[in-house]
Amino acid sequence: MSGSGEHLVAMANDIGNYFRPQGPEAAVAGIASHIKRYWTPRMQKKLAAFIATEGDHGLDDLPRAALATLVKPAAQA
């Protein structure tokens, strides 16, 4: 799974680089919106599982912040 997880991290970073010129706040919102709208639930779960087991090494700050807005703590789910 690490291969696909690393690929999803790279994809998230690419999305982050696309939105980066908009400034941090708009970029985080844009990245989160893109992932929520265009990534399948399976892709989102794979990335979350990869980060949970391997850590968020390699994930840039903006995608990391965007993913944090998408992930709800278990108590709120």
Query: Residue 28 corresponds to which amino acid?
Result: V
Is residue 75 one of the residues assigned to a domain?
no
Is residue 57 one of the residues assigned to a domain?
yes
Phi-psi sector, 73: left (phi>0), alpha (psi -120 to 50), beta: beta
Question: Into how many domains does the chain fold?
Answer: 1
pLDDT at 72 (0 to 100): 64
The SS3 of residue 47 is helix
Q: Of 55, 58, 14, 5, which is closest to residue 34 (Cα–Cα)?
A: 14
Give pLDDT tens digits for 61-74: 999 999 999 976 54
Is residue 74 one of the residues assigned to a domain?
no
Cα distances (angstroms) measured from residue 4 to each of 44, 73, 76:
12, 24, 28
Is residue 13 one of the residues assigned to a domain?
yes
Domain coverage including residue 44: 2-68
For residues 2-27, average pLDDT? 94
Q: What does pTM read for this prediction?
A: 0.86
Give pLDDT tens digits for 15-52: 999 999 999 999 999 999 999 999 999 999 999 999 99
Sign of the torsion formed by the C-alpha atoms of 23, 28, 33 and 38:
positive
